[in-house]
Amino acid sequence: MDIFKGLKQFFWPDKGFLIGSVLGLAIATAIGLVYPLLLRALIDDVIKPKEFDGIMALALLAVALIVVKAAFQYVHGFCGGRLGNRLAYRMRNASYDKLQKLSFSFYDQARTGDLMSRLTADIEGIRNFVGFGFAQLLNTLFLVLFGFGMMFYVDWTMGLMTLAIIPVIGYFAIRFELQIHPIFRAIRIAISKLTISVQENIMGVRTVKSYDSADHEYGKFDEGNSQYKENNLSIAAVWATYFPIIEFVASFSIALLLLVGGWRVIHHHMTLGDLVSLNGMLGMIVAPLWTLGFQINNYTMSKASGERMLELLNRHVDVQPPAHPVQPKPNGTGLIRYHDVNFRYPNHEHQPSALTGFDLTAGPGSVIGLLGGTGSGKSTVVQLLLRAYDVTSGAIALDGTDIRQLDLNALRSRTAIVFQESFLFSTTIRENISYGCAEATQEQIEQAAKLADAHGFIMELPGGYDTIVGERGMGLSGGQKQRIALARAFLIRPQVLILDDSTSALDMETEHRIQLALRQVMEGRTVFIIAHRISSLRHADEILVMDKGHVVQRGRHEELVRLPGLYRETYRTQYADRPDELGEDAAGGRRVSG
């Protein structure tokens, strides 16, 4: 029940529909139970005394009851439908909202397929139960309560006798629920595994095919599929055991009723009408008891789904927005200061620090270059600036205010980041460029594309700016995708632009043209360039050379290239086939232009 308490916020705002649905069904059920009484009246008061005038009145009463019952059934259906759908709508929105708020550390571990199955299959399970399953379970309860009430009213001895079946059926129903719940949970997990496997196979189809790993992938899928099948077989086995037991108990009670009831009619302890009506009532009670197993299934399934949804919805958000957010200073210059920043990734405490004692002051208009081997901590520096993660110790300040105190959206809206692996949405190139700036005009979009050296190739595409690019920009080269992502960032003209290895797929000439444009777009603003190639950041105002989370060298290209150290080694490696600008430079060697 705790699970449904946790989900209350999603269905309680529609408590009117909940009450309507439950009441509608309860009244319709109660009316249904009046039919056997009509039958009793027909036999005992009309047929036996041969007073046939009463037939018409009884028939009219039956019609009236049918109409009223149908009206209440409509109320139940209408309210239940509204309730379930509105609940599902709220839950989808809340989960999606949560997904936006969850920090990067969640996504470091999350699996797309699993999240997809929570947002679809699990919500659907809850919708079905809260909308209809719950009312039907209550309906069974009402039928048992009202039904036995009426049976006692007709003949209490018979009522008492048939009541004995309830604990027996209840016992088996509870045992059934205990056995089936863990299997349903396992089924949900198996579905999620299957979805993950399909999704990863589709996303990574190129890798799968190029490594000829189709058989391996098939094996993985088959494993999940077998698990799913086994779980379903277990469910079938549990059903197969309990269904006949419940049916036997229910049928046995009818046989008992006929035996004892028949004897009582013969000995004039009750009328024939009583027996017929009792038989009708028992049939009405037993029918839903037969489906009790199915209803309990429904309940346990939605409970398992609710558990998984609450797990997502209650997930702790590592990076919390400040309780009293401060807006960035409107007259701030955009000065960024890292002060003795240390950082270790959450849930990776066993790993060495990703960043140690990092200091940096980046004034507006400056271009900061971050160079270093893979895993040296370059991306971590900029991720911390966006508050993708919070620093472990030390502080980062924007215009003198600690970024942990700043309004998170305002902080992030001042920043744009372009990654090496550019993500393009499955829509037109125009919408991809104007993502984050929906009100941009065609002229502005084209201007941004020109600055990113993308306009030329876009115009050569059959649909121009209206060309739809696939989910991951299929059909475009890596360099073309990077240029669209750059145009997207240029269009926003952020206060801080971060290029995280985002020109790696471009040839040096194109990269140089974009760098010139960058100076123009980002005049008076701050740019971080993360790169492995010296050509990408040789013009930076300050270059930080990183190694294992430490800054091992810093300065301008001209200074660093003359000092012994990692920068010079990298330079030598990258420009091995060309005369360099090291010591030989002064001795008349040629300068290398980037």
Ligand X SMILES: Nc1ncnc2c1ncn2[C@@H]1O[C@H](COP(=O)(O)OP(=O)(O)OP(=O)(O)O)[C@@H](O)[C@H]1O
Which residues of this protein are in contact with ligand X, per CB under 6 A?
Answer: 108, 345, 348, 354, 372, 374-380
Helix (H) or strand (E) holding 550: strand 550-555
- Written as one string, the DSSP assignment of 117-130 is HIIIIIHHHHHHII
The nearest distance, CB 542 to ligand X, in angstroms, is 17
Q: Residue 462, class by beta-carbon neighbours within 10 Å (0-12 exposed, 13-18 middle, 19+ buried)?
A: exposed
- Quote the CA–CA distance of 427 and 134 in Å, as a whole number: 41
Nearest to 109 by CA among 388, 384, 380, 347: 347
Residue number, 123 or 531, with CB nearest to ligand X: 531
Structure tokens at 187: 């089924």
Residue number, 4 or 106, with CB nearest to ligand X: 106
Residue number, 340 or 466, with CB nearest to ligand X: 340
Strand runs labelled E in 363-479: 367-372, 393-398, 401-402, 415-418
The nearest distance, CB 528 to ligand X, in angstroms, is 12
Structure tokens at 181: 């719940």
The nearest distance, CB 537 to ligand X, in angstroms, is 13
The nearest distance, CB 406 to ligand X, in angstroms, is 22
Nearest to 544 by CA among 566, 514, 571: 566
The nearest distance, CB 318 to ligand X, in angstroms, is 12
Cross-strand bridge partners of residue 362: 336
Residue number, 371 or 514, with CB nearest to ligand X: 371
- Reduced to 3 states (helix: H, G, I; strand: E, B; else coil), residue 86 is helix
Structure tokens at 422: 């550019």
The nearest distance, CB 347 to ligand X, in angstroms, is 7
Side chain identity at 458, as an amino acid letter?
I
The four Cα atoms 516, 517, 519, 524 give a dihedral, to 10 degrees, of 170
Residue number, 51 or 108, with CB nearest to ligand X: 108
Side chain identity at 492, as an amino acid letter?
I
The nearest distance, CB 511 to ligand X, in angstroms, is 17
Residue number, 352 or 564, with CB nearest to ligand X: 352
